[in-house]
Chains A and B, each alone.
Chain A
Amino acid sequence: MKNIWWKVLAVVIMTYVIFWGLLGPVPRQPILNESIRNVSFHVPLWFAMIILLVTSVIYSVRYLRKGRMDDDLIAVEFANTAILFGVLGCLTGAIWANFTWGDPWPNDPKLNSVAVGMLMYMAYLILRGSFDDEQRRARISAVYNIFVFAVFIPLIFILPRMTDSLHPGNGGNPAFGKYDMDNNLRMVLYPGVIGLTLIGVWITQLRVRLRRVKVAMDE
């Protein structure tokens, strides 16, 4: 376990987020009440997912440019972890929405976009499963990964902003920071983003190493 410092950092930051997110002061909002604390746990999942997806795309591009199988392996594992975070984000969001909006899956553009995004990445995994030749699988799934990412970003960031949404920051609602964010909450949210991203990178790194070992055993 060399280069352990960032793993320690991840654990320390996440511990801070868990404690401070539950105990620290939060703004008092009607309807949301105490559940506003979910901001420090639910929202970082999405930020971390986006960061992991960006990394995955970067590795896909690198694979296409340099053609090293290792890059493809890393790209898949980042996508896998991102999907895990996305599913967790959907679940936590559904629980939260059930209490504040009265419906686990309100017909909200952001939710629907994210569900479609999840479908896209599931399709990515299915696409990978349907090849026998490794080189070919790597190249074509890298192409699809880039394509899907380019469709996913407008889907999740631009389209929901243009229609009415329950989420803050969409459809004319003021964005974060205008009314239900304050500096206390930010002090937890941003570390949460960093911490969860690091945890995600850790999980990804473990899976990548496992795969490399497998590859080495096969040789």
Chain B
Amino acid sequence: MNKPNIVIVHGAICGGCDVALANSEEAISKILENIDLAYWSVAVDARLSDLKSLGKIDVAVFMGGVRTSEDEELAKWLREKSKILVAFGSCSAYGGIPGLAALTSPIELINLVKSTITTSSQYKSIIELPKLPELSTYRALPHVVNVDIVVPGCPPPIKVVNEFVNVLLKYIAGEEPIGPLVIAGSKAQCETCPRKPKDLSKLQIPSIKRIYEAKIEENRCFLEQGILCLGPVTREGCEHSCINVNMPCTGCFGPLPGFEDVGLRYIAGILALVAVEREKELMEQGLAKILDKLVDRLGVLYRYTLPRSRLYMLKLSLEGSEYAR
């Protein structure tokens, strides 16, 4: 019997996901043992034309966001061809860091790139950018096509990669995955967070501090110390790699099941809680000021999820974008 095959392709990506996959020896060996690795341009010498010539595809893993017309075409082609389509990594699943550029129009981006080329000015006018695929409206993969499995993480941690491969193996053994399946917990980070609050009964956030401003106590809830942590609005399952090294969660595992806009959830809950004990006295002179301490709103609230947010959908629909949902 023929082994089922797997292809691994890239959209807008930094390459971290490839490294993450390659790093997991267990996952790689299981894949190689059970599945025919038909295409993975960073590991196997193959060209896009080779991919396109494949007769059938069982599993397609898409890494990175959909940035160009080429990415989009590829995503749609894969959806049609493959039985299982996987959004691998936060860029693919939720938009990721490059997704922060989604609010800037493609022409603006190109102009920015051109304006920052540091070639001596006399050559500047004759510099031409290489011919690029056309930039399209930035989207996460599930926004473009339906996906069967979501593997979150920036990049996905080894445990998640292994679990993902186990799901694949089960599928190959004949068990249909119930999609879309997210390889992560369904609760927030707090459920399993190893840090302990000082006040066990309730959460209080006296003020917002930026990381350099605080001497962050280890083992104590970040929010209590004024450090904005996305843990309460982010799926658990990453084994708290950031939290364990005394850095707050930035949300790469994406929103909890049932809602998509991390930023709205965050302002509704966590930011509404800031200085809750002093609201009355602060109202006159600076309840707003205290919130202004959050300067990089998009970078903090939507670091990995902007292209999947409701506000982005709203923007697209108002622009009359064909991608509006």
Q: Do A and B come from one complex?
A: no
